[in-house]
Amino acid sequence: MHFPENINENNFSYEKLGQEKIDKTMRYMRIYFDLCSEEFFLHKHNYINKEVWKEWEEGMIIAFNKKAFITAWEKISNESGFYTDFKKFVNSKITSELE
């Protein structure tokens, strides 16, 4: 609800946003990836059932392969303290869908 209206479009570009909007969007991207890392942690430690994980994972894969999310992940993953297993997971899902 805080992302730009065109965030899901293939031609989305952060450069077309003003700096204030870029900052706000990146803040919410960090929140999104943090939520994904928490979901991944729950899955990895078997705190959720396989059906719930499958739903969450499918949603992540869809998001991870949109241009805006790929661009944000490239920046966020280098700046953030996400743990290695989660970084590997995200990178593998981006790669698998783009090949």
In a domain, 13, yes or no: no
Distance CA 33, CA 9 (A): 19
Q: What is the pTM of this model?
A: 0.88
In a domain, 9, yes or no: no
In a domain, 59, yes or no: yes
- Give the residue numbers spanning the domain of 48: 18-98
In a domain, 7, yes or no: no
Counted domains in the chain: 1
In a domain, 5, yes or no: no
User: In sequence order, what DSSP letters do the residues of 32-66 get, joined into one string?
Assistant: HHHHHHHHHHHHHTT-S-HHHHHHHHHHHHHHHTS
In a domain, 70, yes or no: yes
Q: What is the pLDDT along the chain (99 residues), one digit of tens a residue?
A: 789 999 999 889 999 999 999 999 999 999 999 999 999 999 999 999 999 999 999 999 999 999 999 999 999 998 888 899 999 999 999 975 544
Distance CA 24, CA 85 (A): 27
Distance CA 56, CA 46 (A): 14
In a domain, 8, yes or no: no
